[in-house]
Amino acid sequence: MSMIRINKDLCKGCVNCIRVCPTEALRVRFGKVVLLEDRCIDCGECIIACPEHAIEAETEEVRDMSNYRMKVALVSSVLYAQFGLDVSPYLIRSAVKEMGFDLIMDVAFGTEVSTLYLRELVRENPEKLYISSMCPSVVKLIQIRFPSLVECLTPIASPEEISARYIKEKLISEGYREDEVGVFLITPCTAKSADIKEGRGSHYINGTISVSEAYKYIIKSLKTVKEDRSGPIFGEGISWVRDGGEAKSLGILNYLVVDGVKNVLKVLDDLELGKLRGINFIEGRMCGGGCVGGPLNVQNPYLARVKIRMLEDTYKESIDKSLYEYLKANDYFAGEEIRVDSSPYKLGEDVSSAIERMQELEEILKTLPGIDCGSCGAPTCRALAEDIVSGDARITDCIFKLKDNIEEYARSLLKMIREVK
């Protein structure tokens, strides 16, 4: 189930959202936007594009964590970039505790150890192309629209999952029962929230809180909270939330970094066509600038990127090698199998009906203007043709076809009047 929610009362049917959706998961019907959930990859581009704020993401509220004896905040490094350049991560962590958390765990721990694992993986397979699986929206996009590239995705658990598993197992070893420990991810990412809610690749995280929701609590506490400077801050791990951070950390030269929906689509298209040769690693992020441009953030993404770079340069702590070897030996990096999911685009239940519908679609497409204006409520003429074949739209939803029909009707009516006279 998608995390995207649409407020019909606020929606004006402006079609801004359908133009930016990379999987054509949105339509405007009867003046209101409609979400095709099986196509949605929860990238959040529609949230950013909506001028009426009619589209939002569903996340947990802070009060939902009260059922746990030990409450752990799993903090994305993006949170540190939401506040001024002079506000330290330690002060922000202290303010997070004021929200009711007992313990803070940085996702940067997971990215730091993932860096070590990926370095080994890439160096052991210098001829293989890897595509980062860190961005869940990119993963879903590849599953749905670029199935031939699924095998290129890095076979590794997410940094969030690695961090959550580590802290939860540590607390259990200290005497807590598993059901007493609640781990809540503070995230800028709608797609990550959707994965956690659906249990995809996440078994140790109990819920999510958006960065924007956490921000409202933290900003009130910053002036009064006492700073606690305990716990490490991993500068290299922090770098993953900005564009190029993950790829640069691998220590190779032949990598490609791409961010933003249109750019990601172009690179994946070129990759499928065999145009990108000699590349060993592709870091793709659906949000502009990386996670700092996520739809659930507050801060200007360009300023947030500056803050992240400052933190990278300031904090130089690293993971102990023996801890990394322990995590590796205990399969912390083993990710779930990523499978192709082409079901949202199936035209029929079997090959015969699919071919028949495809032929019908192509014939309809020939009659449409091909300008992809969006006035019909579909993002492209081809999408409208798909909807017509599926029974979800009519040919006259196209204003040009409607105009032609009206003109034809008017001519017929005029001819009838003349014949009567």
Q: Do 46 and 74 belong together in one domain?
A: no
Q: Do 41 and 69 belong together in one domain?
A: no
Residue 291 and residue 166: Cα distance in Å, rounded?
A: 23
The residue assigned the tokens 């150890």 is 113
**CATH number of the domain residue 317 falls in:** 3.40.50.1780
Q: Do 164 and 108 belong together in one domain?
A: yes
Q: Tell me which residue range forms the domain holding 39.
A: 1-58
Q: Do 45 and 115 belong together in one domain?
A: no
Residue 284 and residue 307: Cα distance in Å, rounded?
A: 21
The residue from 58, 82, 103 where one domain ends is 58
Residue 316 and residue 42: Cα distance in Å, rounded?
A: 34
Q: Do 43 and 176 belong together in one domain?
A: no
**CATH number of the domain residue 359 falls in:** 1.10.15.40
Residue 191 and residue 239: Cα distance in Å, rounded?
A: 20
Q: What is the pLDDT along the chain (421 residues), one digit of tens a residue?
A: 788 999 999 999 999 999 999 999 999 999 999 999 989 999 999 999 999 999 998 876 676 778 899 999 999 999 999 999 999 999 999 999 999 999 999 999 999 999 999 999 999 999 899 999 999 999 999 998 999 999 999 999 999 999 999 999 999 999 999 999 999 999 999 999 988 888 777 789 999 999 999 999 999 999 899 999 988 899 889 999 999 999 999 999 999 999 999 999 999 999 999 999 889 999 999 999 999 999 999 999 999 999 999 999 999 888 899 999 999 999 999 988 787 776 666 666 777 888 888 999 999 999 999 999 999 999 999 999 999 998 999 999 999 998 888 888 888 888 888 887 6
> Does residue 139 belong to any structural domain of this protein?
no
Asked if 19 and 49 count as a contact pair (C-beta separation under 8 A), the reply is yes
Q: How many residues are there in the chain? A: 421
> Does residue 245 belong to any structural domain of this protein?
no
Q: Do 42 and 162 belong together in one domain?
A: no
> Does residue 176 belong to any structural domain of this protein?
yes
**CATH number of the domain residue 48 falls in:** 3.30.70.20
Q: Do 67 and 52 belong together in one domain?
A: no
Q: Do 323 and 375 belong together in one domain?
A: no
Helices 261-272 and 136-145, interaxial angle, to 10°?
A: 40
Structural element, H or E, at residue 235: helix 235-238
Q: Do 232 and 295 belong together in one domain?
A: yes
Strands of 281-285's sheet, edge to edge? 130-131, 281-285, 255-259
Which is it for strands 207-210 and 103-106: parallel, antiparallel or unpaired? unpaired
Distance of CA 205 to the CA centre of its chain: 17
Q: Do 79 and 162 belong together in one domain?
A: yes
Number of domain units in the chain:
3
Which pair of tokens denotes residue 141? 């996009």
Cβ neighbors of 124 (< 8 A, separation 6 or more) are none
